[in-house]
Amino acid sequence: MNPRIHDWQGKRIWIIGASTGIGAETARLLLQRGARVALSARNESALQQLAAPFSAACVAPLDITDAASVSAVHARLMQQWQGIDLVLVVAGAYNEMRADSFDLDAANRILDINIRGVYHCLDVVLPELLRQQSGGIGIVGSVAGLSGLPKALAYGPSKAAVINLCESLFLDLRPKNIAVYMINPGFVDTPLTANNDFAMPALMTAPQAASAIVQGMERGDFHIHFPHRFTNWLRLARLLPYRSYFYLVHKVTGL
Residues marked active site are found at: 155
3 state DSSP class of 131: helix
Alpha helix ranges (H) inside 66-222:
67-81, 104-111, 117-132, 155-173, 206-219
The Cα–Cα gap between 183 and 166 comes to 9
Q: Find how far residue 142's CA is from the centre of its chain.
A: 8
3 state DSSP class of 221: coil
The Cα–Cα gap between 137 and 21 comes to 19
Contact 24/50 with Cβ under 8 angstroms?
yes
Contact 71/32 with Cβ under 8 angstroms?
no
For 222, left (φ over 0), alpha (ψ -120 to 50), or beta? alpha
Helices (H) and strands (E) in the chain, counts: 9, 9
